[in-house]
Amino acid sequence: MSANNFSINQLAKALIAAAKSETEADELLSELDSMVEVLNKRIEIKNYLADPEVKFSNKEKALDIVFEKSIGEKNKNFLRLLIQSDNILNLGPIYEVAKAERLAGSNISLAVIESVVPLDKNQANQLKKALFERTKKEIRLNNVISTELIGGLRITIDDMIIDSSVAGKLDRLRNNIREIN
């Protein structure tokens, strides 16, 4: 498991835990969904918020302009945390994991499938079947395009991460080589 995946899960769980009630958790997720949609449509803003050359104070001003009164203070603080920890580009996967956390008490699991290209229906059905066999839960898939994977898949479901991506394999190889040296 890479530190990046660990961070995504931890951040998603922290967001849900910050809610004082189930209603507030649903509101936070609804706002988060809107934030993901805005940042996916306006890539230039997402890139600006992720740019290490831009001062944090300028990023905060951009947040206030873009989201004005459309999100609550908890989600604004959450975005600030993501910016400071260089995780703003992971907002989509964090949202998907947070959504899965809300489903955790049911017999439904949300599987976030990160891939370089979109899955076709046959691939999605095969993954659903395999994941059902493993979890014995109804599976809902969300395919997130992550070009940094280079190839392969990274699957996040419940508390499990299955990383068969090329980037993951290279990370593990790099770590093994470091351990040898």
Q: What's residue 1's pLDDT?
A: 37
- What ranges do the domains of the chain cover? 3-93, 106-180
Alpha-carbon distance 157 to 119, whole Å? 17
Give the whole-angstrom CA distance, residue 76 versus residue 63: 8
Distance of CA 158 to the CA centre of its chain: 13
The reported pLDDT for the residue numbered 120 is 96
30-77 tens-digit pLDDT: 999 999 999 989 999 999 999 999 999 999 999 989 988 789 889 999
Q: What is the pLDDT of residue 4?
A: 45
DSSP class of residue 51?
-
pLDDT at 36: 92
- Its pTM stands at 0.58
In this structure, which long-range contacts are made by residues 125-128, counting pairs with CB atoms below 8 Å and at least 24 apart in sequence? 127/155
Please identify every stretch of the chain with a pLDDT value under 70, giving residue numbers as ranges.
1-6, 105-106
